[in-house]
Every structure is written in C-alpha cells, then in structure tokens.
C-alpha cells in the first residue's frame, strides 16, 4: 500500500507535467483553438474532412481485406489443386508398377520424383519416408529440391500427414529466400504416396511461394492509398469551394453589419442570386433603412435636446444674475427685517446658490453630450489633491474622514479640476449617506494605473440600485433629506470626467454595510488594459458566492473623443 506522502509526490509530479504540457502546447495550439472557436467555415470543413476520411478508411480496410482474402483463397486453392494433381500422377505411376519386378523399384523412385517435378508448378519438393517404418534397402529415404522447404515442415504438419485421416494437409509458413536472405509468405501442402513391395509410405511436401501474391496485394494497397489521398484532396477542394459559396452571403451580411457599426449608414447588402438569401438581403436592407431613419431621428432629437438644455441654461443665467443681485441686496438689509422675513431671505439665497450649481451641471452635461470637452492636463500629485478636498469637506462631516495614501505620490497628467470634482462628489456623497460613521479615502498605484477609493459604512444600496447610481437625476431614496444639497447629476458627471481621462468609476454597495466607490486612472494614453491597484469590494466584506458585484481583473480603457491641452 502506498503512503500518503508518496501519493502526494505523485500528484505533484503529475501537476508539474500538466503545467509543462500547457506551457508547451499553448503557443502551438492557442491560435488554432481561437481560430476554431471563431470560424464556422473551418469547423464545417474539418468535420466534413474527418467524416469523409473515416468513410474512406473504413471502405479501404474493407476492400483490402476482401481483396487480400480473395487473393489468398484463390492462390491456396490453386496450390491444393496443383499438389493433388502431382500426387495423383505419382500415385498412378506407382499403381502401374509391376510388383514382381523387384529390380525396378529404384527406377520407380526415380520416375516418381521426375513425375512430381514435371507435374507440379512448384520447384520446392520434399519427399521422405514416414518415420517409424522398417528400413527399405532398395529405395532412398528422402528426396528434396530445396533445403528451405525442409526447414518449413513443422512437426504438427508431419504428424497430421502420418495420421492419414485426410488426403491433403496444408499449412501457411514463412519461406526463406536463401539467395536474398529474406523471408516471404508461403504454403506447404502435404500428402502421402504408398509404394509396393514393402517399400512403405512416403510423405510428399510441396511448397508454394506466395511472394508474388503479396506483391500484388501491396500494389493494390499503394494504389488504394494514392487514390484515397487524391480523393481526399478533391473532396477538400470541393468542400472548400462549396463552403465559400454557401458562406458568401453570411460573409456579405457580416461585412455590411461591420460597416454599419463603424458608421457607414449607407452600407447595404447586395443580392445573392438565391431565393432565401435574397429575401434575407431585402429584409436586412429594410432593417438598415429603418435603423438609419431612427438614428437620424434620434440624432435630431438629441441635438434639439442638447441645444435646448444649452440655450435654456444660458438664457437662465441672466435672470439668475438679477435674482442673485436682488438676494444680495435683501441679505444686506436683513438686519432690519423681522425673523420670518430674514429666514425667507436666507432660504432665497441658498436656493439661488443651488440653482446656479444646477445650471453649471446642466452646461457640463450638455458639453459631454455634444462632445465638446477639452482636458487641460498638468502633472498632478493625487495625494495632495485628495488631501485638499478632504480638508475642505471635513468641517461638514460629523465623523473623521481618514486619508490613506498607500501610493500615488508620483505626478500624473490629469485635468486637476475634473479629478478634484470627482473626489469632492464621492466624499460629499459619503458624508451625505455615511450616517455619521468614519470615512476612509485610499490612494494607491501600480505600474499601469492610479486608483482612489472612498469607503463609508452608511446605509448602503441594493445591487439593482448600484446599477443606476450613475444615472442622471436618480436617487436611491428620494425621501432622504440632503445635507449638502445636490442636483442629481454629480455621479453622472463624475463618471464622464473619469471616462475622458480613459479611466473607470465603479461602485460597490450592500445594504447595512455601506458603499465603496473606486476611481481608476491609467498612467498613459497608450495603456489600453490595466488592473486597478485597489479592490472594488472592501477587504472587510465577506464576498458571497454568485455576487454580481464581485467583478475584478483587467479593466479596459473606455473610448471617448476628447481634445487635450497641456497647461504650461
């Protein structure tokens, strides 16, 4: 019985072999596997080739087996007939011998040997006196024309002939070629001859070389193999041609859909000269026309909406400025007003400030919608930036806001104003929903990215609410009273600010366990994929199996069209 230690060593060795095989085979088989998963045409051709090859293999084996059996049977029957003819001729000559002529027995032996040689097609003949009989001085004991035949006679064949139950016995043997030193297939046919005058019984062995039959079978095998290869090539060309013809409409549809996705709204699918595919082309083109019309309609509506928001925001600035001036005048004279009137003046000033923030956010959103965003980047120390934001918001928080700079001291080219706005929004939301619990702001970095996370232990959100956290004017609990004010556009603008930097703003939250918002920014414009240095799910949280928020790994840079201007 093997020990546990021995089994563990065996398992470790098998695992190492598996890993080594994966490392060796991955570079070789990886591209083929990827191509196999992507190409339906390749799978169709490969499966067709395998099935066709299997059918040809089975047919070839059947044909070779049938032809080989037929060749061997015909050659064996021919050898048996030849041996029987030689045996009958020799026995007929023996039976015609005059038994009273005692002196002619020697000539009889000579005549029988000559008859066998002249009658048989084979030159390998061996005649011998059956063992166990009394000596006969007037005749020889044996006669042979080939020593190879003598070596090929087995004891089983000799015993079978000696039993005398059948007239003929045969056995397949390997016959040696003494001149070439090779061996080939053959048959030895055995029979017996009964001599008179006490001469006894002699065994007649005739050997037949089947090398010519083997050569014929080899020629047939080579011919069938060449024919199978040519047939496979023809079938491969046929399958490839048919696949190209069959998949041509599919490739045309894929190419047209790719052109439509890249922005060529006028791309259409051509007719394929087939009833069903032409119907698909017509339906596809109708769908493209409908989509183009709807896209144009939506673009027009979007343009009107953006223009409306921008125009309204600009037009409201004039009355807002007038209202602000009036509010400032009233606030300057609030000392002589009654308490109710003074409160009204204070509320008016607060709402005017909030209205101004709302207009600013609407203008910023309209810029993002219109694609007219310009980044003014400069080398920025994110640790100092975050510390400045936290110092400004600390007086508004009922608890401590802790900053943990694990990394991120190296300057990064970002638009400091937009990053400061993101951090202010995240920390402000943590103060708003933190329920008086501490707030932790963490900064860390790696070779490819810099990350900032804001963690609170407040009321938290459900998973379905997290999916809408970055929607415009969305609130998880509309009945909650805001402490710091807000427009409902903060997180939407923050995500756009992150996206124009090529970064990602993500959220994790769970009811009763708080929330964690993570901002990840790539270090350079050439970084397409990166790993965030900070986890999205906090380390103090137990990850549940099947949690849809338990995402991680590589992050992909979002595509945003933005112009950059570096500050001097």
- Edge-to-edge strands of the sheet including 169-177? 142-144, 124-129, 200-209, 182-195, 169-177
Q: How many residues does the chain have?
A: 568
% residues pLDDT > 70 (the chain): 81
- CATH number of this structure's domain 64-217: 3.30.450
- Mean predicted lDDT score pLDDT of the chain: 79
Please tell me the least confidently modeled range out of 104-118, 179-193, 520-534, 547-561.
547-561
Contact status, residue 506 vs residue 517, Cβ threshold 8 Å? yes
The pLDDT of residue 475 is 66
* Residue 50, CA distances (Å) to 42, 44, 451 in order: 12, 10, 52
The pLDDT value given to residue 1: 47
Instruction: Render pLDDT for 33-56 as a digit per residue (tens, 0 to 9).
Output: 777 777 777 777 788 888 888 888
Per-residue pLDDT of 331-381, as tens digits, reads 777 676 777 777 887 777 777 777 777 777 777 777 766 666 778 888 999
Beta bridge partners of 504: 520
- 538 close to 455: Cβ distance less than 8 angstroms: yes
Residue 443 phi, psi dihedral angles, 5° rounding: -125, 135
Higher pLDDT, 504 or 372: 504
**Spatial contact of 455 and 444, defined as CB atoms under 8 Å apart:** no
Helix, strand or coil, per DSSP, at residue 389: helix
Tokens encoding 104:
């002619």
DSSP assignment string, 98-128:
-TT-GGGHHHHHHHHHHHHHHH-S-SEEEEE
What pLDDT is recorded for position 140?
60
Give the strand pairing for 401-405 and 374-380: unpaired
Predicted confidence (pLDDT) at residue 450 exceeds the cutoff of 90: yes
User: How far is residue 536 CA from its own chain's centroid?
Assistant: 29
- Tell which wins on pLDDT, 481 or 11: 11
Question: Over 90: is that where the pLDDT of 386 sits?
Answer: yes
- Following DSSP, what letter does each residue of 130-149 receive, concatenated? PTTSPP-TTS-SEEES-HHH
Tokens read off for 54 = 């299997």
CATH topology for 268-372? Helix Hairpins (1.10.287)
Average of pLDDT values for 474-478? Answer: 62
What is the CATH number that goes with domain 373-566? 3.30.565.10
Q: Which helix (H) or strand (E) holds 517?
A: strand 514-522
Q: What's the whole-model pTM score?
A: 0.48
What is the per-residue pLDDT across 198-237, written as a single tens digit (0 to 9) for each? 667 888 889 888 888 888 888 888 988 898 889 888 888 8
Domain ranges of the chain: 64-217, 268-372, 373-566
């Amino acid at each position: 019985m093997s020990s546990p230690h021995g089994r563990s060593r065996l398992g470790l060795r098998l695992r190492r072999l598996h890993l080594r095989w994966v490392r060796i085979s991955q570079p070789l088989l990886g591209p083929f596997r990827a191509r196999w998963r992507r190409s339906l045409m390749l799978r169709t051709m490969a499966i067709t080739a395998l099935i066709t090859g299997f059918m040809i293999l089975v047919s070839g084996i059947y044909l070779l087996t049938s032809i080989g059996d037929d060749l061997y049977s015909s050659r064996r029957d021919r050898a048996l007939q030849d041996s029987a003819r030689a045996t009958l001729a020799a026995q007929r000559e023996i039976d015609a011998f005059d038994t009273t002529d005692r002196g002619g027995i020697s000539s009889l032996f000579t005549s029988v040997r000559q008859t066998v040689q002249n009658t048989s097609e084979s030159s390998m003949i061996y005649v011998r006196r059956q063992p166990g009989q009394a000596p006969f001085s007037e005749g020889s004991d044996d006669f042979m024309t080939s020593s190879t035949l003598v070596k090929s006679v087995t004891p089983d064949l000799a015993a079978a002939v000696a039993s005398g139950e059948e007239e003929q016995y045969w056995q397949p043997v390997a016959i040696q070629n003494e001149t070439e030193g090779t061996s080939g297939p053959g048959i030895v046919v055995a029979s017996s001859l009964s001599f008179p005058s006490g001469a006894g019984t002699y065994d007649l062995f005739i050997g037949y070389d089947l090398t010519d039959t083997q050569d014929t079978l080899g020629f047939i095998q080579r011919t069938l193999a060449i024919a199978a290869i040519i047939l496979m090539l023809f079938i491969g060309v046929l399958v490839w041609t048919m696949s190209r013809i069959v998949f041509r409409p599919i490739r045309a549809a894929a190419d047209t859909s790719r052109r439509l996705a890249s922005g060529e709204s006028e791309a259409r699918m051509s007719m394929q000269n087939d009833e069903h595919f032409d119907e698909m082309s017509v339906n596809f083109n109708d769908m493209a026309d409908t989509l183009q019309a709807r896209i144009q309609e939506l673009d027009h509506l979007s343009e009107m909406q953006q223009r409306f928001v921008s125009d309204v925001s600009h037009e409201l600035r004039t009355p807002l400025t007038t209202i602000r001036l009036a509010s400032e005048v009233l606030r300057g004279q609030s000392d002589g007003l009654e308490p109710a009137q003074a409160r009204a003046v204070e509320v008016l000033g607060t709402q005017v400030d909030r209205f101004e923030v709302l207009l600013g956010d609407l203008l910023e959103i309209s810029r993002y919608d219109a694609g007219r965003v310009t980044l003014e980047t400069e080398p920025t120390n994110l640790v100092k930036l975050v510390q400045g934001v936290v110092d400004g918001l600390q007086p508004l928080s009922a608890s401590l806001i802790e900053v943990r700079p694990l990394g991120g001291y190296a300057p990064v080219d970002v638009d400091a104003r937009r990053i400061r706005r993101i951090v202010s929004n995240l920390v402000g939301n943590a103060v708003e929903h933190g329920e008086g619990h501490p707030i932790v702001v963490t900064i860390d970095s790696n070779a490819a990215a810099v990350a900032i996370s804001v963690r609170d232990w407040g009321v938290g959100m459900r998973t379905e609410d997290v999916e809408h956290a970055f929607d415009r004017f969305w609130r998880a609990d509309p009945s909650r009273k805001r402490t710091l004010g807000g427009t409902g556009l903060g997180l939407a603008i923050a995500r756009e600010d992150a996206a124009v930097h090529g970064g990602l703003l993500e959220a994790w939250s769970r009811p009763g366990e708080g929330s964690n918002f993570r901002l990840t920014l790539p270090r350079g414009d050439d970084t397409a994929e990166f790993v965030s240095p900070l986890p999205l799910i906090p380390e103090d949280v137990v990850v549940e199996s099947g949690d849809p928020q338990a995402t991680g790994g590589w992050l992909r840079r979002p595509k945003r069209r933005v112009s950059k201007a570096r500050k001097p």
